[in-house]
Structures are given as C-alpha cells and as structure tokens.
C-alpha cells in the first residue's frame, strides 16, 4: 500500500501460469509476449538443450527428459497446475510423448492447450516440414511482395512466423482465457501460421475484391510500385521511406521537395508514375539522408529515415517510448503494448528452477 492505494499488479496477466514446451520461433515468441504481460512462464527443455537468446526473457526454465517416466510425471503435474500450455511440434508429437491435448485436458479441464505450427493440425501438408518462406509463399502473400521484374524476396521471417503465428496464438490464448471465465473450461487452439498469415493480409484480399488490385506483384500501392509509397536512395547511400498516400500528405511531400505539382500528373494516375518516380529519385539523391530527415522532421509528409538496427536503438522517439530495453546486457525490443494501470515489471533474463512443481493449482 502507498498512500492508501493498492499496489499495482505485475502486469495484466499476473496470476496466469503458462507452460512452454521448448521449441523454436513462434512458440517461444508467444510465450515471451505472455511473460511480458505478467504471466508466469515456465519453459521445459531437454537436458543440455539451452539456447534461444533474448526470446527466453521472463522465463523460469526447467530441464526434463520426457522419455524418463519420473520427469514426465513431474511435467504433467506442472501442467496440471497451469492455465496455458504452448507447444510447437508437428501434429502427433506431443501425443506420442504422453502430453497430448486429450491427456492434458482430461487431467486439467481448464487448460488452454495452444498448438503453434506452420501448416496446422489438419490438411495434406500438416505433417510436412516448413519455414516462414514456405507458409507465406503458399498463402499468396510472398507473390505480392517486391518488384514485378525480380523474384519475390522474403520479408525476413516476421510476416509468417511472428505476424501470422505467435501473435495469433496469443490472441487465441487471451480469448480462450476470457471464455473460460464463463464456461470454466479450457480448449485446444490450433494456431497455424498459414491461417494467421492469410488473415494478417486481409486488406489485400479486400482491395482485390473491389477492383483496386489485380493480385499481381507491382500493381499494389503498398509493394513499392507507387512512387509516393517506396524507399529512395540519398546522396550518401542512405535511404528514406516515403508513405505519402493521402492527397494532403502528398502535397506536403512535393512542397518540401520544392517540386511544382503542375509538372506532374494526378497522384493516382498510374501512367504518370514512372516519370514521377524518376523525379523523386533524382531529388532525394541530391542530399544525404540526414539532410532529408531534418527537412521532413515534424511535418505530415510521411517521410522518415530508413535506420539501421543500431541507429534504431538510439532514435530519440523510440528511446522516449522505451521501445528498446536492456535485459542482462542485451539490447532488445521491450514489451508491447503499454498498459495504463497494470504495467509489467521490466523483462528479466531466464532463470533455472527445479522441475518439481511447488505452486498451488490456479483458482478458476
């Protein structure tokens, strides 16, 4: 108590207990997001496995040999006392371990059993291996990215694994926890990256449906084909990102570049885009990136510098918002979103704990 006020709880998910069966990519990322929001996350790893880097912050880690009957029983009892289980194995793997959803939910009817995979639990590809590039390729999203005269380039591995995978897994967990307050029962979440990725790009399907996009690469204003929504090289080899979509922002862009709009055709006339793009490219190449950063600072032209990772960590706006934090000496993105009443404590490095569960079962 401070001045008669109750203490602030440690994050909006304080009291929620999560077990993460160690895996790669979106599963650990989903567990980290829950930990960032205050959940108590325990990661179960094979002895000697380790690794995972910054994505393991906020965890307690136990080592358990799931082929050993004693260790397996202790992990089952840990799951019995938890609200959420996250696993990212191929379909059928946890069933063979003796930790499948039927077994775990029979023992703990309130458990939210979360399965994060690329292809999902059903369908012809369910048992196949895959990675982000495969999932976004099959959903049509990869085909829509990049210039039409070059092969599609993968946008790192963030669109599928983390945008379509871990974020939708977390949404599913939160929704299931809310529903459990009424029903008293948990459920199994099939968080497939292919489903999440397709939904993540729903705006493109909407544009295609109403005739604003043919579905082909180089014909969508968001893929860099529009000269007012792309990156430009500057005199020093740096780049700026231009996102002047709306007419008023486009007008501000031309004003600050000292370009007479009468020399250009209508903003949305595709026939004039090649000439418009050449003019903008020539203008931006006249000065270094930081010059243009100063010109456009504080304006609504929607022009910003393209920062390197190292530069982003020192940016004044990102620093003011605490976008990056230090955890155990490692600089990394901090928790998001931010909460007004239940802020989580600063993320902490993972720490080891005994496999034997000691905490009481959660109240339902």
Q: Which residues have a catalytic role annotated?
A: 131, 161
Please check whether residue 58 is in contact with residue 35, taking contact to mean a CB–CB distance below 8 angstroms: yes
Bridge partners, 243 (sequence order) = 229
Which residues, in sequence order, are CB contacts of 329 under 8 Å at separation 6+? none
State how far the Cα of 334 lies from the Cα of 258, in Å rounded to an integer.
39
The dihedral of CA 190, 193, 199, 205: what is its sign?
A: negative
Alpha-carbon Rg for the chain in angstroms = 24
d(CA 207, CA 280): 26
Which residue in the block uniquely carries the two structure tokens 């203490």? 7
CA torsion, points 34, 39, 40, 41, in degrees to nearest 10?
-10
With tokens 């590809």, the residue in question is 125
Sign of CA dihedral 306, 308, 313, 316: negative
Hey, which bits of the chain come out as E strands?
17-21, 40-45, 59-63, 84-87, 112-117, 188-192, 229-233, 239-243, 303-305, 324-327, 330-333, 351-352
Look-up of token digits 């792309």: 230
The rounded distance, in Å, linking the Cα atoms of 78 and 19 is: 8
Instruction: Give the whole-angstrom CA distance, residue 132 versus residue 305.
Output: 28
Q: Tokens 């079962």 identify what position?
A: 361
Buried b (16+ CB within 10 A) or exposed e, 204-213: beebbeeeeb
């Amino acid at each position: 108590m401070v001045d008669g006020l109750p203490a602030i709880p440690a994050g909006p998910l304080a009291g929620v207990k999560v077990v993460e069966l160690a895996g790669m990519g979106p599963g650990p990322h989903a567990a980290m997001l829950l930990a960032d929001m205050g959940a108590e996350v325990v990661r179960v790893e094979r002895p000697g496995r380790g690794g995972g880097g910054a994505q393991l912050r906020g965890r307690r880690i136990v080592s358990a040999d799931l082929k050993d009957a004693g260790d397996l029983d202790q992990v089952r009892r840990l799951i019995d006392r938890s609200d959420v289980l996250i696993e990212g194995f191929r379909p059928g793997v946890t069933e063979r371990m003796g930790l499948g959803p039927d077994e775990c939910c029979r023992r703990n009817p309130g458990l939210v059993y979360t399965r994060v995979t690329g292809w999902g639990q059903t369908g012809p590809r369910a048992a196949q291996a895959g990675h982000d590039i495969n999932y976004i390729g099959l959903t049509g999203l990869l085909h829509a990215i990049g210039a039409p005269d070059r092969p599609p380039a993968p946008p790192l591995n963030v669109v599928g694994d983390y945008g379509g995978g871990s974020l939708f897994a977390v949404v599913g967990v939160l929704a299931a926890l809310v529903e459990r307050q009424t029903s008293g029962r948990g459920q199994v979440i099939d968080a497939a990256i292919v489903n999440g990725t397709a939904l993540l790009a729903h705006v493109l399907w909407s544009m295609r449906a109403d005739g604003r996009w043919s579905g082909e690469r180089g014909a969508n204003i968001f893929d860099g084909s529009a000269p007012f929504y792309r990156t430009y090289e500057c005199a020093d080899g740096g780049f700026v990102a231009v996102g002047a979509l709306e007419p008023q922002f486009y007008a501000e862009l031309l004003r600050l570049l000292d370009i007479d709009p009468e020399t250009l055709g209508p903003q949305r006339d595709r026939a004039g885009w090649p000439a418009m793009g050449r003019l903008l490219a020539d203008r931006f190449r006249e000065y270094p990136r930081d010059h243009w950063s100063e010109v456009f600072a504080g304006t609504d032209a929607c022009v910003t510098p393209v920062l390197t990772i190292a530069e982003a960590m020192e940016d004044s706006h990102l620093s003011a918002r605490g976008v990056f934090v230090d955890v155990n000496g490692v600089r990394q993105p901090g928790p998001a979103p931010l909460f007004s009443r239940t802020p989580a404590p600063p993320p902490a490095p993972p720490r080891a704990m005994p496999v034997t569960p000691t905490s009481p079962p959660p109240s339902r």
